[in-house]
Amino acid sequence: MGVLHVGELLSLPVLRGARVVAGHRGLDHEVTNVNVMEVPDIEAYVHPGEVLLTTLYPLRDDLAGVADLVRRLHAATLSALVVRVGRYVDHIPATALEAADELGFPIIVVDTHIGFNDVISAVLAIVLADYGPEPGRAETIRERLTAVALTGGGLAEIARTLAGALDRHVAVVDAGGATLGTGRPPAGPAGAVLPVADHSWTFPITVAGTERGRQLVDGSTEPTLGQRRLIRQACFAAGMHIAQALASIELDRRMRVLLLEEAVSGSSPDHGQLLERSRLFGWDFTEPHAVVLARADRELPDADVARTAAAALPVGSLAWSRGVEAVAIMPTIGPGQGAEPAARADRWRAALASMVRCDVHAAIGTVADDADGLAASHRSARESLAIGEVTARPLVCHDELLLERILLSVDPVRLHELVTNRIGPLIEADRTGSGALCRTLEIYLGIGNAAAAARALYIHYNTMKHRMARIAELLDVDLHDPHTRLSLAVALAALALTSGPGARG
């Protein structure tokens, strides 16, 4: 393999007029490859020793971020940054130049007429220079492979180009072995496929240090050194295509999440624009939907949030992660018409809990009849989630929390007064270890039958009768009186809201 240093790039005819504007101490860095910047977080798609070509288009609105880019590229042990100025940016910020000088990371500026395709071909012609013969028209083939990658050509086109150059069957497969593209020799019969087997030579396709696929080259004889040069070029082109596809997928995901966040936060200033952009993604918010908000003690990975939502929530649901929170916009048939949405949401909550191996609480907000109602649904889901966490309920629905919401609207001092006056003696008795009297009363009032309550509490009926007598004695009340039962139930609900984790003070 030929050796090329950054300083020698300036001697290439294609880079005539290029100038080093910072990081001169790094001109002895060895160049192993070339890459093109398509997204701001490019370091996920580069390799050590690469020269990165860019117009800085991804940072055109955040030139202050160029200095941070320089530091990240240096940390990833890239060799240099080549910037084409004039079309999207007309200068490199001084902070970026200072960072490059400090790190010894070369920044080279080229004019707008310089083609990245030409630069890649010229650099790789040296970097991939092995000894030995190579197929005819090798330079033309290298340029074509590079052009395929830069212009968004597919893996099938890369396979066909390589097959024509080598006069062998070629296939591109993913990491799992699935075929992504094939090519046959020019003289091969139409429809012929790569023979499986024993006589295929395998070459890895890597992106950011991770193997994303392989080039399979058929033949009973090992490829020559010259042929290997072209195969490596094809692997580079395939890797660039895959990196671009991954970057495009990530950009699409971020745009989708940004639009969804605008929808649930109500931050979109233009209702018509929100609907139009939603339609472009294939979303229809003109039908009833509800926001489901889930929260865990651990981070919820975005891919797992989407996967579990696809399996558990109704068709057409949209879900994404916010770290320890997950949000879903779920189609619903509306309140009072069935419990299916709640059951689906609880299934999703349980799947998330199983995935992260910790408790997950979830809440369903109000039903939104259109996109304008999603923000209100999100606010109500957040309010409900706080109630669910305080009262230790795994799943709550906003429409079923009217009592709790009324209590939370009361002045905290008055709420504390209600709890103390109605069930204060029970709280004190529980604190001193006289039995779980508050819990016993809560279950009894919820069921309405002492024998059934004893079974729910897993205690003997005689123990239940003793506790109920003790409660009546401490509170000096008639537990058969409807008004008394109501006031005690309200006081217990207020206690749950004011004593649980995260309760307001």
Over the stretch 336-392, which tens digit does the pLDDT of each residue have? 334 588 899 999 999 999 999 999 999 999 999 888 889 999 999 999 998 888 888
Provide the angle, in degrees to the nearest 10, between the axes of the packed helices 437-447 and 412-431.
Answer: 110
The H or E element spanning position 396 is strand 395-397
Distance CA 238, CA 179 (A): 13
Ranges of residues in the chain whose predicted pLDDT is under 50: 1, 130-133, 196-198, 334-338, 501-505
pLDDT value for 333: 63
Cα end-to-end distance, the chain, whole Å: 70
Nearest-CA neighbor of 22 among 62, 72, 89, 67? Answer: 67
Nearby residues of 45 by Cβ (< 8 Å), 6 or more positions away = 35, 39, 207, 208, 243, 246, 247
Number of H helices, E strands in the chain: 17, 16
Asked if residue 278 lies in contact with residue 286, where contact means CB atoms within 8 angstroms, the answer is no
- 């003790």: which residue's tokens? 470
Position 269 scores a pLDDT of 61
Q: What is the pLDDT of residue 37?
A: 77
